[in-house]
Structure 1
């Protein structure tokens, strides 16, 4: 058989397979009672009913477990490294108060995150307090430039303090990691 004959034979087989796949897909679609949109609605409903929903604690635990697995630590080793990882994570969260909520901008009862009362705030959340004070003074219609400047300086000083603590915590974390693990922690966003 010539080369052109082989090509046309292969082309015919390929076209026949594609046609067969299209026919099989349409037959399966006709047999199923749900459209793709209905299938998506069903998956969303299952998620809303709690299947697939995780608490923030479960999500954090899963993230830490994944991190441990990727870094290649045994359970005993991870217990020694975990305090360093948690310290860096905590300081990163303090520097980014808007990223804290898994629910976006809304709080636990639909309030903006900045409206949490003093009693609801975790201890040591000075960055959040400084950010709230800055937002409040900026939104205040009769705030003087001197008042805004004072709050802005406090915000910057607070941020600089937390950034210096983060730099120390990141250095300490690097000391207990291999070079490969350090690179992986950079990819996780825990190190710079």
Structure 2
């Protein structure tokens, strides 16, 4: 019976005092947390005065500080690695941009050379064409030109001296010579 009394007293203390106390403390902690008080930090500060708990907090604090320090060093080394990698990439980018710039200037130079070569070839052909028609008689030149269209005739006549042009036009059919004369006059205006 004595055992039952002790158990029932224990249950009574548990149900009447301990459970409501835990409930009240929990409500109080929630209220303080909602009102902006850092309850955990305040508990740590208060427990520093209790000898046994003081040792527990100090060991955890040293471990936490050590862990934080190690993690910070790891992040700093990773950050440094990433910075170095970015520098390498920037260097490569600058090299590639210079290569692109050099290639663009080479392309521009080659285009200019191609245009000059085309112009030189065209000029050489025009010189040869001029020599050919100036070496022909006006009658023969007129016979050849009579078979061409007006645009081609104008290009050839523009290469020749005015006297040679006049001789060739005089040997063409009068109607065709009049058309060509009008075209020559409109080009010179």
The TM-score normalised by the length of structure 1 is: 0.23
Q: Which structure: larger Rg?
A: 2
Higher RCO (Cα < 8 Å, 6 or more apart): 1
